[in-house]
């Protein structure tokens, strides 16, 4: 006879139903029932309950109980899983309390959403342990029957990581089919249906009564003012055209259309916030009474007729070769063609002595496939986090969740996940995950573990003469581990006649060090590239490149063209003239969404102007020219209004025309008329037509501010 193992037998009410269902089949009445749980007291209650069921039914089944999971699975033909990792406290309480603090409300929180993600993260490792035990010590062909949520995540993870025969079982299909018959006033024994999708988001593709489409009866209920049942699910049927299998409590948090929209919507659709907490507390409060009823104070026990749970029917069909169709959660091997490959789908499954044989569905109606995919995204990312140990996928899963995304901005999603991870780890419910760069969705490995090294000249360079040049080397360890290594300095196209040698660098996680390095090019050169290199792949060097500035000579009435191109657009087209010490720049900027931000002008529409004297020791002046027709239009480097620079604009739908005027002598840029000076520009635009968003582009083709001399053009009026 079959050996049937229940993992999580301490869920005694459910275990009683499963055991009595199984043993009421005469062909299974001699089975060995093995009970396993991590709680000795709950396990003992389950053992007493099971033995009394056996006596009540008068069958020859054998009952065993053990705390050793591997022993329980050894030689088993079927393993049924009903575990809850973390329990009500601390697991479920953490899942609800921390999100609530961030403004994210939930109803059940066990399958999707942030609650489902974290229940999945703490449950997947245990599910994989069970699956591996089945593969190692279970009987040949041992079948894994999973009743634990989050169903799709657990089944998907086990399929990807282990691959034993497995089916996820839920009662929502058969339960909802009966509910619909009740709503429509139909005799259930004449109802037939076809359902497909994903767990808790499968849809009745057909719902028939005596062979005829009964959906019109369901849609008529929408017109009945006296009918107020299952409001969320009926609203989704109104919008999608099909009825979904799982409850309104669940549906309200699987979609972005309900809870997020506030109290009025919550009340309109009777959405019970924190419902799962209330259910758990009720069960806990009545556990002692339920326990007494289960095991029977007088040694007797009540055995109910077989339930509609699929577990016993699957085992009976496989043991007796009795064909049955059940609804199960299985890997999508081309079964639903418009859902992702190897995601977990729920659909009809034929069961007989050949095992589990899923039914090919083909395409779901496109709107149903689309809404299923929003849930599958979260499932796949949670499984990826659990199987790879990559912390970033935890953020990605919650970021993709429809309800969380509708409720919280990204920074709060990140902060909420950080708190949830910390709370779970503190409670011993989560292991370690590979860290990410703080506040990002990118792992340290290959990106955030770098030591970034840059070189900058202490004084601006004008030319490479062969004389020594003093550089400041900055090294920052952006990783979360200490770094110790050597850096060498390379230069091109000239050799360094006096090398700094190998610099020994030691940096703790997050630390920065600065060194002064004197380099001497072997000869004069028109350009210079300097960089720090290391054999350690963690070192990322930022090159310093010196190119002599362009020399522009505004002469005659035409002046000098100053243009900036971006993505085939003439972002700036203007002319520069210098008369005496008076500079004028006039032209046009393309900007179809002019926006001003005085607090961070570089992030909005602006012309950023840089001026520096050519003489040694001169400092760079920076101005933000804001394209608006009234008020302060020029800000200095301190973001204060600057009255010495004139900036006039005329804005239209395509951008703006402008005239910039200033006195180089009064600003200290020229000592006298005709002196050369350096100039650079950066153009920021709100948008470039319909196709392109904002941009920030330098005259030199770079986005960075003009802090190096090679970014400037040298204006030589004479």
pLDDT digits (tens, 9 = 90+) for 84-121: 999 999 999 999 999 999 999 999 999 999 999 999 99
Q: Report the C-alpha gap between 331 and 339 in whole angstroms.
A: 11
Q: Report the C-alpha gap between 29 and 49 in whole angstroms.
A: 16
The CA angle 85-90-95, to the nearest 5 degrees, is 85
431-450: average pLDDT: 82
Q: 360 catalytic, yes or no?
A: no
pTM of the model: 0.85
If DSSP codes are grouped into helix, strand and coil, which group holds residue 397? Answer: helix
Exposure pattern of 600-630 as b/e (b: 16+ CB <10 Å)? Answer: ebeebbbbbbbbbbbeeebebbbbbbbbeee
pLDDT at 704 over 50: no
If DSSP codes are grouped into helix, strand and coil, which group holds residue 521? Answer: strand
703 contacts: CB under 8 Å, gap ≥ 6: 682, 696, 697
Which structure tokens are listed for 198? Answer: 């994903």
Q: Report the C-alpha gap between 235 and 403 in whole angstroms.
A: 17
Q: Report the C-alpha gap between 127 and 120 in whole angstroms.
A: 10
**Whole-number Cα distances in Å, 426 to 100, 132, 243, 394:** 19, 27, 41, 17
**Whole-number Cα distances in Å, 638 to 297, 595, 623:** 83, 20, 9
With beta carbons less than 8 A apart as the criterion, state whether 542 and 454 touch.
yes
459-492: per-residue pLDDT in tens? 877 788 888 889 999 999 988 889 999 999 888 8
Instruction: Supply the mean pLDDT for the chain.
Output: 92
Higher pLDDT, 496 or 53: 53
DSSP 173-203: HHHHHHHHHHHHT--GGGEEEEEEEETTEEE
C-beta atoms surrounding 216 within 10 Å = 9
Bridge-based pairing of strands 62-66 and 32-36 is: parallel
Q: How confident is the model at residue 706 (pLDDT cuts 50, 70, 90)?
A: very low
Q: Report the C-alpha gap between 675 and 575 in whole angstroms.
A: 19
Closest to 604 in 3D by CA, of 685, 674, 665, 534: 685
Q: Determine which one of 171, 200, 257, 711 is catalytic.
A: 171
pLDDT at residue 558 in the model:
75
Superfamily of domain 449-546: Immunoglobulins (2.60.40.10)
DSSP 569-583: EEEEEEEEEEETTEE
- The answer to whether domain 3-169+281-328 and domain 550-715 are alike in fold is no
Q: How confident is the model at residue 703 (pLDDT cuts 50, 70, 90)?
A: very low
C-beta atoms surrounding 269 within 10 Å = 20
346-354: average pLDDT: 98
pLDDT at 708 over 60: no
pLDDT at 709 over 70: no
Q: How confident is the model at residue 326 (pLDDT cuts 50, 70, 90)?
A: very high
The CA angle 145-68-306, to the nearest 5 degrees, is 35
Closest to 156 in 3D by CA, of 199, 193, 94: 199
pLDDT at 64 over 70: yes
Q: Report the C-alpha gap between 177 and 173 in whole angstroms.
A: 6
318 contacts: CB under 8 Å, gap ≥ 6: 143, 351, 352, 353, 355
The CA angle 217-221-227, to the nearest 5 degrees, is 145
pLDDT at residue 503 in the model:
87
pLDDT at residue 340 in the model:
98
With beta carbons less than 8 A apart as the criterion, state whether 196 and 364 touch.
yes
pLDDT at residue 691 in the model:
61
With beta carbons less than 8 A apart as the criterion, state whether 116 and 110 touch.
yes
For the chain, which residues make up each domain, given as ranges?
3-169+281-328, 366-442, 449-546, 550-715
With beta carbons less than 8 A apart as the criterion, state whether 498 and 522 touch.
no
Q: Report the C-alpha gap between 301 and 51 in whole angstroms.
A: 10
158 contacts: CB under 8 Å, gap ≥ 6: 127, 128, 131, 144, 146, 164, 166
With beta carbons less than 8 A apart as the criterion, state whether 40 and 8 touch.
no
158-176: per-residue pLDDT in tens? 999 999 999 999 999 999 9
What torsion do the CA atoms of 213, 214, 219, 221 make, to the nearest 10 degrees?
170
Which structure tokens are listed for 408? Answer: 């919280």
pLDDT at residue 378 in the model:
98
With beta carbons less than 8 A apart as the criterion, state whether 700 and 711 touch.
yes
Highest mean pLDDT among 368-372, 545-549, 687-691: 368-372
329-348: average pLDDT: 98
pLDDT at residue 707 in the model:
45
498-535: per-residue pLDDT in tens? 555 678 999 999 899 999 988 888 888 888 888 899 99
Q: Which of 227-236, 284-293, 323-332, 627-636 has the lowest mean pLDDT?
A: 284-293
Q: Residue with structure tokens 């087209």? A: 573
Q: Report the C-alpha gap between 110 and 249 in whole angstroms.
A: 11
Q: Which of 16-25, 176-185, 479-488 has the lowest mean pLDDT?
A: 479-488
188-202: per-residue pLDDT in tens? 999 999 999 999 999
pLDDT at residue 669 in the model:
94
Q: Report the C-alpha gap between 698 and 682 in whole angstroms.
A: 4
pLDDT at residue 494 in the model:
82
* Assigned CATH class of 550-715: mainly beta
What percentage of the chain exceeds 90 in pLDDT? 72
Q: Report the C-alpha gap between 35 and 46 in whole angstroms.
A: 7
What sign for the dihedral angle of Cα 363, 369, 375, 380? positive
Superfamily of domain 3-169+281-328: AglA-like glucosidase (3.90.1820.10)
290-301: average pLDDT: 72
What sign for the dihedral angle of Cα 387, 393, 394, 397? negative
Cis peptide before 90 (omega within 30 of 0): yes
With beta carbons less than 8 A apart as the criterion, state whether 106 and 115 touch.
yes
225-229: average pLDDT: 94
Which structure tokens are listed for 656? Answer: 């703006």
Bridge-based pairing of strands 3-7 and 78-81 is: parallel
């Amino acid at each position: 006879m079959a050996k049937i193992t229940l993992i999580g037998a301490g869920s005694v009410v459910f275990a009683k139903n499963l055991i009595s269902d199984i043993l009421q089949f005469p062909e299974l009445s001699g089975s060995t029932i093995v009970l396993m749980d991590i709680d000795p007291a709950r396990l003992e209650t389950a053992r007493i309950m099971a033995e009394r069921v056996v006596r009540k039914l008068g069958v020859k089944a054998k009952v065993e109980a053990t705390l050793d999971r591997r022993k329980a699975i050894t030689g088993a033909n079927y393993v049924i899983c009903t575990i809850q990792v973390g329990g009500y406290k601390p697991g479920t309480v953490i899942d609800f309390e921390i999100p609530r603090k961030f403004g994210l409300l939930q109803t059940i929180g066990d399958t999707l959403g942030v609650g489902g993600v974290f229940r999945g993260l703490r449950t997947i490792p245990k599910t994989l342990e069970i699956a591996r035990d089945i593969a190692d010590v279970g009987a040949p062909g041992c079948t894994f029957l999973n009743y634990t949520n989050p169903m799709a995540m657990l089944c998907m993870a086990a399929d990807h990581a282990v691959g034993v025969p497995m089916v996820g079982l839920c009662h929502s299909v058969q339960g909802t089919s009966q509910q619909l018959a009740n709503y429509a006033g139909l005799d259930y024994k004449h109802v037939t249906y076809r359902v497909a999708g994903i767990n808790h988001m499968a849809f009745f593709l057909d719902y028939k009564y005596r062979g005829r489409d009964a959906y019109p009866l369901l849609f008529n209920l929408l017109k009945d003012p006296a009918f107020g049942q299952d409001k969320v699910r009926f609203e989704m049927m109104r919008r999608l055209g099909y009825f979904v299998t799982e409850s309104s409590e669940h549906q309200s948090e699987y979609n972005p259309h309900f809870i997020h929209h506030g109290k009025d919507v919550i009340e309109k659709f009777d959405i019970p916030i924190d419902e799962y907490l209330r259910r758990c507390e009720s069960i806990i409060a009545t556990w002692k009474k339920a326990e007494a009823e289960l095991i029977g104070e007088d040694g007797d026990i009540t055995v109910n007729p077989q339930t509609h749970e699929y577990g016993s029917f699957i085992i009976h069909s496989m043991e007796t070769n009795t064909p049955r169709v059940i609804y199960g959660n299985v890997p999508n091997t081309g079964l639903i063609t418009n859902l992702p490959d190897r995601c977990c789908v729920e659909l009809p499954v034929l069961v007989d002595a050949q095992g589990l044989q899923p039914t090919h569905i083909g395409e779901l109606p496109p709107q149903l496939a689309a809404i299923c995919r929003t849930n599958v995204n979260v499932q796949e990312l949670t499984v990826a986090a659990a199987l790879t140990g990559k912390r970033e996928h935890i953020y990605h899963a919650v970021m993709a969740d429809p309800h969380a995304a509708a409720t919280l901005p990204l920074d709060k999603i990140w902060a909420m996940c950080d708190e949830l991870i910390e709370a779970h780890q503190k409670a011993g419910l989560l292991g370690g995950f590979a860290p990410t760069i703080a506040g990002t969705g990118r792992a340290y490995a290959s990106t955030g573990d770098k030591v970034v090294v840059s070189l900058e000249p202490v004084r601006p360079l004008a030319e490479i003469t062969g004389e020594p040049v003093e550089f400041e080397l900055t090294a920052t360890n952006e990783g979360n581990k200490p770094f110790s290594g050597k850096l060498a300095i390379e230069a091109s196209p000239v050799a360094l006649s006096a090398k700094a040698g190998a610099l020994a660098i030691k940096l703790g996680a997050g630390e920065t060090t600065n060194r002064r390095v004197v380099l001497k090019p072997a000869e004069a050169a028109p350009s210079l590239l300097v960089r720090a290199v290391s054999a350690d792949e963690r070192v990322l060097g930022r090159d310093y490149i010196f190119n002599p500035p362009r020399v522009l000579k505004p002469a005659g009435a035409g002046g000098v063209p100053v243009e900036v191109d971006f993505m085939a657009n003439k972002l700036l087209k203007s002319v520069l003239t210098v008369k005496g010490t008076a500079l004028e720049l006039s032209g046009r900027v393309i900007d179809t969404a002019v926006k001003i931000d005085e607090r961070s002008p570089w992030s909005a529409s602006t012309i950023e102007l840089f001026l520096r004297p050519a003489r040694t020791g001169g400092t760079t002046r920076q101005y933000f020219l804001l394209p608006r027709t009234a008020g302060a239009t020029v800000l200095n480097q301190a973001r204060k209004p600057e009255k010495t620079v004139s900036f006039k604009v005329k804005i239209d739908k395509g951008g703006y025309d402008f005239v910039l005027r200033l006195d180089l002598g009064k600003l200290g840029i020229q000592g006298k008329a005709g002196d050369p000076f350096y100039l650079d520009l950066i153009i920021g635009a709100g948008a470039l037509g319909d196709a392109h968003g904002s941009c920030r582009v330098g005259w030199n083709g770079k986005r960075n501010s003009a802090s190096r001399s090679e970014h400037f053009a040298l204006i030589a009026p004479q």
